[in-house]
């Protein structure tokens, strides 16, 4: 038997313990506190067993029972199946080769055998006006095989008939009360007019195939688990696209995707897992709730990727356009690599506990808040954030101006933020140890480029944070290991105005052009040396070299106007003098 333990994501252990310890701070100075706040997140939910066997997807032609659909009748050649009108009932395990068209009928699998039932759909078209065209009522396991070169169609009606009022199953076009697998390189097209497209009340594995579903409610649902090993899947659904919703067993209710090309347009969540959502690789094009320009009610959910527990992504190519959060977790989000293009009507990436980004290329083109969670850690990757409110917001959701113990850590990413709210915001603390951080805050607002309630320390990296409200913006704390300067201008500078810092010899440390007008800039670099004097220039021009995200390198800065000079005497220097004292000149 093949097992899927967190789909064996590269570099991810079965048990992930994320321990976040946050010192409490008061004012601008760090204070000792024996009651450190510690949060432990355990990502192991025991997603271990599935129902797959190596022999599931093979079959031999001389041992099959043929079920031939003749539009208004059915013919059976072989053992294990009987016919009543336009209903074929399979009562024994084995291989059943189904072909032809059935205008208004169904195939029922109902066996107590302990072996597998295999349905080979060899160019099938089944329409059933009042029930599921294929209904696995009872079986040890059912496997639907789609042979190469075949296209198979299943269509139901807008209402189902049940023998009693307390029945509500089947309720999907392809419905199974037992473990269900789908494989093969053929195609399966489902038009689900009553409810779901494909549903398994146990586990559901899609090993391969070209699957297209149009459903009034959920597209594909595996109650215990939904595992996608490969294939091309296109779902248009009024409800959720993919769903696993067993909430009674911590080892179930998960979605695991190894690879595939997946396109989902959903009225509700594109993917929704009760426990974990685990992605190793694949290409994903997801649109939920009408996209980022739409709105959803407070009782509705229209997220891209959603998990009540953990979302772990190893790599992949993701395009997500969601009315609600693009990526949302009730516990932990870990992104190790991949390409992400996210547009959200709410947060692009949101976790109720922690977000950890270890790599990848992430572009957030639209969001309310770009990345939000109590604990945000950026270790690597290229991350671009555009937000109508805060760019990055570390918060436990308590509100207010007190330190809530949340933490934003930047340990080595290339981060570019363009926000209409605070650029970097933490209701607790901010620690920057490495990387490149380029933040453009709003041009005019009570918001600022950098905002925190606890502490902010910088010990490495290149940091440039611009924003309005020069008297309200915050600098790092004096306990920082790397020097920084907060430049406060007496009037707003336009977005076309270059910002430049030079040493006493006229060598430029930095030339930067924020994308919005600005009244303050926080600059931190390892090139700011204790005891040295530097000069701030604005305006001028830059020749040669390159410009990337407003940062100029490899050329020459000339023609600027000196705004101020400052001498580094502590980890944090503030300059706002416009005395126009002489300096080395703009070079």
Alpha carbons 463 and 512: distance in angstroms, whole number: 11
Contact indicator for 483, 510 with CB cutoff of 8 Å: no
pLDDT (0 to 100) of residue 208: 97
pLDDT digit string (tens) for the chain, length 587 residues: 444 434 444 344 333 444 333 333 333 334 334 344 434 344 444 565 689 988 899 988 778 999 999 999 999 999 999 999 999 999 999 999 999 999 999 999 999 999 999 999 999 999 999 999 999 999 999 999 999 999 999 999 999 999 888 889 999 999 999 999 999 999 999 999 999 999 999 999 999 999 999 999 999 999 999 999 999 999 999 999 999 999 988 889 999 999 999 999 999 999 999 999 999 999 999 999 999 999 888 788 999 999 999 999 999 999 999 999 999 999 999 999 999 999 999 999 999 999 999 999 999 999 999 999 999 999 999 999 999 999 999 999 877 678 999 999 999 999 999 999 999 999 999 999 999 999 998 877 777 889 999 999 999 999 999 988 756 678 898 899 999 999 999 889 999 999 999 999 999 999 999 999 999 999 999 999 999 999 999 999 999 999 999 999 999 999 999 999 999 999 999 998 443 333 444 43
pLDDT (0 to 100) of residue 48: 52
Give the residue from 59, 76, 58 showing the smallest Cα distance to 67.
Answer: 76
Q: How many CB atoms lie within 10 A of CB 150?
A: 19
Q: Is 528 left (phi over 0), alpha (psi -120 to 50) or beta?
A: beta
- Which pairs count as long-range contacts for 9-13, CB under 8 Å and 24+ apart, including other chains? 9/278, 9/280, 9/312, 9/314, 9/336, 10/280, 10/314, 10/336, 11/314, 11/336, 12/312, 12/314, 12/334, 12/336
Contact indicator for 64, 96 with CB cutoff of 8 Å: yes
Residues sharing a CB contact under 8 Å with residue 562, sequence separation 6 or more, in sequence order: 535, 536, 537, 580, 581, 582, 583, 586
Give the residue from 504, 556, 515, 512 showing the smallest Cα distance to 538.
Answer: 512
pLDDT (0 to 100) of residue 63: 86
In DSSP terms, 572 is beta-bridged to 484
Q: Tell me the torsion sign for CA atoms 312, 438, 530, 570.
A: negative
The three-state secondary structure class of 336 is coil
pLDDT (0 to 100) of residue 468: 85
pLDDT (0 to 100) of residue 46: 56
The three-state secondary structure class of 102 is strand
Which phi and psi (to 5°) does residue 318 adopt?
Answer: -120, 125
The three-state secondary structure class of 22 is strand
Q: If you count DSSP H runs as helices and E runs as strands, how many of each does the chain have, helices first?
A: 0, 57
Alpha carbons 100 and 104: distance in angstroms, whole number: 13
Alpha carbons 568 and 386: distance in angstroms, whole number: 33
Alpha carbons 238 and 265: distance in angstroms, whole number: 8
CA 541 to chain centre: 40
Q: Tell me the torsion sign for CA atoms 17, 340, 207, 181.
A: positive
pLDDT (0 to 100) of residue 37: 42
CA 296 to chain centre: 19
pLDDT (0 to 100) of residue 401: 76
Give the residue from 318, 439, 336 showing the smallest Cα distance to 390.
Answer: 439
Q: Per DSSP, which regions of 72-141 are E strands?
A: 74-77, 81-84, 87-90, 94-102, 106-110, 117-128, 134-138
CA 116 to chain centre: 36
> β-pairing, 462-467 with 354-357?
unpaired
Whole-model pTM above 0.75? yes
> β-pairing, 106-110 with 87-90?
parallel
C-alpha to C-alpha distances, 47 to 6, 14, 224, nearest whole angstrom? 6, 9, 10
């Amino acid at each position: 038997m093949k097992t899927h333990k967190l789909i064996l994501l590269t570099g991810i252990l079965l048990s992930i313990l994320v321990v976040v310890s946050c010192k409490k701070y008061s004012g601008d100075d760090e204070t000792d506190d024996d009651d450190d706040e510690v949060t432990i997140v355990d990502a192991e939910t025991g997603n271990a067993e599935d129902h797959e066997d190596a022999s599931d997807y093979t079959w031999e032609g001389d041992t099959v029972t043929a079920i031939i659909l003749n539009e208004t009748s059915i013919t059976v050649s072989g053992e294990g199946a009987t016919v009543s009108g336009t209903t074929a009932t399979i009562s024994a395990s084995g291989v059943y080769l189904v072909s032809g068209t059935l205008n208004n009928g169904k195939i029922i699998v109902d066996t107590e055998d302990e072996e597998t039932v295999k349905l080979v759909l060899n160019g099938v078209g089944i329409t059933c006006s009042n029930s599921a065209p294929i209904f696995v009522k009872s079986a040890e396991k059912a496997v639907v095989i789609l042979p190469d070169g075949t296209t198979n169609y299943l269509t139901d009606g807008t209402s189902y008939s049940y023998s009693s009022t307390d029945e509500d199953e089947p309720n999907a076009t392809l419905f199974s009360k037992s473990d269900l697998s789908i494989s093969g390189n053929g195609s399966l097209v489902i038009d689900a007019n009553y409810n779901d497209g494909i549903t398994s009340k146990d586990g559901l594995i899609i090993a391969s195939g070209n699957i297209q579903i149009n459903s009034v409610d959920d597209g594909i649902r595996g109650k215990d688990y939904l595992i996608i090993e490969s294939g091309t899947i296109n779902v248009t659904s009024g409800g959720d696209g993919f769903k696993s919703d067993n909430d009674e067993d911590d080892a179930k209710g998960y979605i695991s995707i190894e690879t595939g090309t997946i396109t989902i347009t959903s009225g509700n969540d594109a993917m929704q897992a009760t426990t974990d959502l685990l992605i190793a690789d694949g290409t994903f094009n997801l649109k939920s709730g009408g996209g980022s320009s739409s709105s959803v009610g407070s009782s509705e959910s229209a997220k891209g990727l959603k998990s009540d527990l953990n979302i772990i992504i190893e790599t992949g190519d993701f395009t997500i356009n969601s009315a609600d959060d693009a990526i949302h977790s009730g516990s932990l989000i870990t992104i190790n690599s991949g390409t992400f293009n996210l547009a959200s009507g709410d947060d692009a990436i949101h976790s109720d506990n922690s977000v950890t980004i270890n790599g990848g290329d992430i572009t957030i083109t639209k969001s309310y808040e770009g990345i939000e969670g109590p604990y945000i850690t950026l270790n690597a990757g290229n991350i671009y954030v555009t937000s109508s409110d805060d760019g990055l917001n570390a918060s436990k959701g308590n509100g207010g101006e007190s330190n809530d113990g949340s933490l934003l850590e930047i340990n080595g990413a290339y981060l570019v933020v363009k926000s209409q709210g605070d650029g970097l915001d933490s209701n607790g603390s901010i620690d920057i140890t490495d990387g490149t951080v380029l933040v453009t805050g709003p041009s005019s607002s009570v918001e600022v480029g950098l905002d925190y309630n606890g502490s902010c320390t910088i010990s490495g990296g290149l940091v440039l944070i611009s924003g309005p409200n020069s008297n309200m913006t915050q600098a790092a704390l004096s306990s920082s290991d790397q020097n920084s300067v907060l430049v406060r201008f007496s009037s707003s500078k336009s977005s076309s105005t270059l910002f430049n810092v030079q040493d006493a010899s006229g060598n430029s440390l930095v030339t930067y052009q924020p994308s919005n007008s600005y009244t303050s800039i926080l600059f931190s670099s390892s090139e700011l040396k204790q005891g040295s004097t530097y000069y701030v220039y604005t305006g001028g021009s830059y020749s040669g070299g390159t410009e990337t995200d407003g940062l100029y390198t490899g050329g020459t800065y000339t023609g600027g106007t000196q705004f101020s000079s400052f001498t580094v005497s502590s980890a944090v220097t503030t300059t706002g003098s416009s005395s126009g004292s002489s300096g080395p000149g703009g070079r």
